[in-house]
Amino acid sequence: MLVPSKVFTLDNSIIGKVAFLIIDNVSEISLRELFDLRGKHFNDIGEFILAVDVLYILGVIELRKGLICYVARNKV
């Protein structure tokens, strides 16, 4: 589920799960490493990729040379 509702809590929605993909003190990480570290918080790989897509659309991450680069914290 993408957004929380009466049936789905914030913790069970993609919006709530994107927080698991933000790692402090890391400027870039491979998609595989990120999944290995945080994949247990997602029901399947599709849900994980959807959360990555949400971060990309929000401008929190960029994809460069096969790496996820956290960019939003550098803009402040």
CATH T-level topology, domain 10-74:
Arc Repressor Mutant, subunit A (1.10.10)
d(C-alpha 12, C-alpha 68), whole Å:
23
Q: Per-residue confidence at 76, pLDDT binned at 50, 70, 90?
A: very low
pTM of the model: 0.85
What residue segments make up the domains of the chain, in order of their start?
A: 10-74
pLDDT at 72: 59
pLDDT in tens, 24-70: 899 999 999 999 999 999 999 999 999 999 999 999 999 998 899 99
pLDDT in tens, 3-24: 777 777 888 789 899 999 999 8
pLDDT at 4: 74
Burial 28-37 (b: 16+ CB within 10 A, else e): bbeeeebbee
